[in-house]
Structure 1
């Protein structure tokens, strides 16, 4: 397919070889299936703030750190530079959370690169190697439902131990993946983390944690 403008620079830099197809368009990003060498990955393109339906509520961005005091002052004043800095911080929050959670053993997509507002990460797949379905799109037996519920509560606890609260966890941002390595059963993978909050640094973290659970 034709390379979307936002992915053109990554193609020119050799980070992406081929854009295969569009995978989905959500409230805050568009996701494409791409080829990087011999691997199939996904590229998440963050929508501009004025084109998103998910607003950067103060509850989510409270106490998020930025690179320097100039950025912090600009964000507080709401200047153009401040809005740009806030947008960059919103996008990098997911990248930071993914690296942090992957290192802690939480089942999230493995991040590979972040450039020009595009996140390159693992394509979570099903038993056929296709993009994994969302939990919302799958039917379960009572036994399966209880197993996945127990797994997800454990993942939420593991996230909390890593100091992260998802903040928007639902059946729409959990994928049901298949492990092709050892033939084990399907397992849930948690996605969509730009609104993730620091468990210790955000005063709303406890409320968000309870809502997630």
Structure 2
């Protein structure tokens, strides 16, 4: 009976139902962060989850200033190339795990001490099980590639996507 109550609450989007949905998203994000951190992905260390709240490692300086989003930076050519290589490595690592970020953009990437760090992962997508998985993989690649291209890098987007699909076992 309780399950049917919860299902109805979520379907009707009651306050209780919205809280259950938010908690499901938090559980999914925490699980994804733990899995990715364990395999060496550039994500903040997931400290703990309490209900809908996730506590992560602080990425910033000793004065309490948070690491900037990639979108806030204006890197020079050398740093731009380094950040792009890190982005490609991160996407390949996720693809090797059969995952896509699902909403990857320059706004969901922090740069901490010259290292690119992925954030905001509640919508991580299993690219093999999800029928639209390859679309999410390609969209993530295109979003980041477009940001880097707009700053002067020459990127082979079809080649990048093909490499990610191969790494994910889709080809």
TM-score by length of 2: 0.70
- Does structure 1 residue 160 correspond to structure 2 residue 88? no
> What is the CA RMSD across the aligned residues, in angstroms?
2.6
Q: Does 1:74 align with 2:12?
A: no
> Which of 85, 91, 97 in structure 1 is aligned with 2:32?
97
Q: Using the TM superposition, give the Cα deviation of residue 88 of structure 1 relative to its aligned residue in structure 2, in angstroms.
A: 2.1
How far apart, CA to CA, are the structure 2 residues paired with 1:85 and 1:134?
A: 30
The runs of 5 or more residues in structure 1 that have no matched partner are 1-69, 179-185
Q: Does 1:121 align with 2:56?
A: yes
* Aligned equivalents of 1:107, 1:127: Cα separation in 2: 20
Separation (CA, whole Å) in 2 of partners of 1:100 and 1:118 = 18
Structure having the larger proportion of residues in helix: 2
Q: Give the deviation of 1:111 after TM superposition.
A: 0.6
Q: Quick one: which of 191, 195, 200 aligns to 2:119?
A: 191
| SS of structure 2 residue aligned to 1:189 | strand
- Is contact 2:127-2:133 (8 Å) kept? yes
| Contact 2:41-2:90 at 8 Å conserved across structures | yes
- Greater strand content: 1
What is the alpha-carbon distance in structure 2 between the residues aligned to residue 93 and residue 207 of structure 1? 20
Identify unmatched segments of 5+ residues in structure 2.
Answer: 142-171
Distance 2:62 2:73 in 1: 14
Q: CA 1:95 to 1:203, structure 2 compared with 1: closer, same or farther past 3 Å?
A: same
TM-aligned CA distance change 1:119 to 1:135, over 3 Å: same
Measured in 1, the distance between the counterparts of 2:129 and 2:17 equals 21
Q: Quick one: structure 1 residues 211 and 126, their matched pair in 2 at CA, closer, same or farther if it must change by over 3 Å?
A: farther
* TM-score, scaled to structure 1: 0.57
Q: Size of the alignment, in residue pairs?
A: 137
Counterpart CA distance in 2 for 1:108 and 1:167 is: 15
Whole-angstrom distance in 2 between the partners of 1:110 and 1:100: 10
Q: Following the alignment from structure 1 to structure 2, what is the Cα–Cα distance between the partners of residues 124 and 87? A: 24
Structure 1 residues 1-213: aligned runs within 5 Å = 70=3, 74=7, 78-79=11-12, 80=14, 83-126=18-61, 130-178=65-113, 186-213=114-141
**Aligned residues of 1:100 and 1:162 also touching (Cα < 8 A):** no
- How many angstroms apart in 2 are the aligned matches of 1:168 and 1:142? 26
Superposed CA deviations along residues 161-196 of structure 1, whole A, max 9, x for unmatched, are 123210111111111101xxxxxxx11101011111
